[in-house]
Structure 1
Amino acid sequence: MSAYNDFEYAKKAIGYGVQEYLVKPAAFEEIRATFEKIRRTLDGTTVAFDPNSGVQAGNPLVSQTFVIVGKRLSSCTLQNIASELGVTTSYLSRLFKEETGQNFQDYLLSVKMETAKRMLDSKIGYKNKEIARALGYQDTQNFCRTFRRFFGKSPQKFKTESGQ
């Protein structure tokens, strides 16, 4: 929040990765809504999904799966997505593999790891614990091990190398 109504300050704030830029005086409801949006982002319920990940689907069920993963990255499983779409897990798994060329678990892991990379690369300065929580990991060490296996370096080393 800022008392400055000058766009230069907003532009600078955007460079730092701000979620919202509120100008004083701000209504209580606007402030509350902004913090709720930030909380949901940190909780992982609105983690960004990159539709340009190179994976495309012609089948509506697989397309819906992409949307669900993007909206609920921290809590989605093949079982709950299949249930939501009204199909069996084996059918959705087979269909997903036929459409994308990769199994669902590999896809989910790659989306989580690419999201972690973007979060580490952002100017917000997320801690490993915050990223792990946003991606649905209960244990930060498990997240760090998975990140290291996926990228060949720890989240801390990635952050250091990217200049964050």
Structure 2
Amino acid sequence: MRILIVDDEPLELEQLRYLIREKYPLCEIKEAEDAAVAKRLLADYSFQLALIDIHLPGEDGLNLCAYIKENYKTECMMITAYQEFDYARRSIKLQVMDYLTKPVIAKELYQALDHYISHFGGNHLSPEINQVMEHIHQHYACKLNLQELGSFIHVSPSYLSRKFTEETGKNFQEYVVEFRIEKAKELIKQNPFLSMGIIAERTGFSSQNHFSTSFKKYTGVSPSVYKEKEKNV
């Protein structure tokens, strides 16, 4: 499932991205800080769901939602820090999936996303790939390869590789690295005094250099720069 988050507040974007990936690691997330950027992303990608802040610079979120409803088969959830009746009334008129208030509470967000998935789908994984995903999530700190996982679910490595890519939209190695990076980001936030070598080891990277290279490729910054940014949040 591909989700578009539209919010001009970096901390809100970070929180929503973290919460969604924590429970729905397969979701692909794109972000926009205003309606103009969102419209460009909508033209380039197919989104199943959009989470939109009502108060955006320029065109507001409700007008963006109306545009999406008119032009795309994308469901919308509205997010706002203001509990004003007019916003709720306009949201209902637009037939949005849900209406969340800031600060977004994890339980409420998950209820809204579960409601969407139960009505429209979003996790169409086969039993074999579900098993593989569970194994990755539980053993990401260990060595993982297609041959061992193929034996685990009684299929060939080539079949598993093809099936994994078809169902998740990512190749096996790419998904494992991205999941490990997300876990590394959690460790950096929760344990700022851990060395990068220990974080690399705890998240399954073969070396600190491999960890640093992968982290920068995935996030755009080195682990140490990310750590400094988190200190200043």
- TM-score after normalising by structure 2: 0.46
How far apart, CA to CA, are the structure 1 residues paired with 2:138 and 2:192? 21
Partner of 1:90: 158
- TM-fit CA distance, 1:54: 3.4
1:52 pairs with 2:52? no
1:134 pairs with 2:202? yes
Q: Write out aligned runs for 1:8-27 (5 A).
A: none
User: How many residue pairs get matched?
Assistant: 116
Q: Kindly tell me: are residues 57 and 64 of structure 1, through their superposed partners in 2, closer, same or farther at Cα, counting changes over 3 Å?
A: farther
CA contact (8 A) 2:215 2:222 kept: yes
Higher strand share: 2
Partner deviation per Cα, 1:17-50 (whole Å, 9 max, x = no partner): xxxxxxxxxxxxxxxxxxxxxxxxxxxxxxxx94
Q: Kindly tell me: are residues 160 and 141 of structure 1, through their superposed partners in 2, closer, same or farther at Cα, counting changes over 3 Å?
A: same
Q: Unaligned 5+ residue runs, structure 1?
A: 1-48
CA contact (8 A) 1:132 1:140 kept: yes
CA contact (8 A) 2:200 2:207 kept: yes
> Which structure would you say has the larger RCO, counting Cα contacts within 8 Å and 6 or more residues apart?
1
Q: Kindly tell me: are residues 124 and 163 of structure 1, through their superposed partners in 2, closer, same or farther at Cα, counting changes over 3 Å?
A: closer
Range moving further from structure 2, 61-70 or 147-156 = 147-156
Partner of 2:130: 63
How far apart, CA to CA, are the structure 2 residues paired with 1:51 and 1:77? 23
How far apart, CA to CA, are the structure 2 residues paired with 1:99 and 1:78? 15
CA contact (8 A) 2:216 2:222 kept: yes
- TM-fit CA distance, 1:145: 1.6
- TM-fit CA distance, 1:57: 4.1
Structure showing greater radius of gyration is: 2
Partner of 2:224: 156
Aligned-residue Cα RMSD (Å) equals: 1.9
Q: Kindly tell me: are residues 57 and 108 of structure 1, through their superposed partners in 2, closer, same or farther at Cα, counting changes over 3 Å?
A: farther
- TM-fit CA distance, 1:124: 5.5
CA contact (8 A) 2:161 2:171 kept: yes
Q: Unaligned 5+ residue runs, structure 2?
A: 1-20, 28-122
Percent of residue pairs identical: 28
Consecutive aligned runs of 4 or more in structure 1 exceeding 4 Å deviation: none
Partner of 1:120: 188
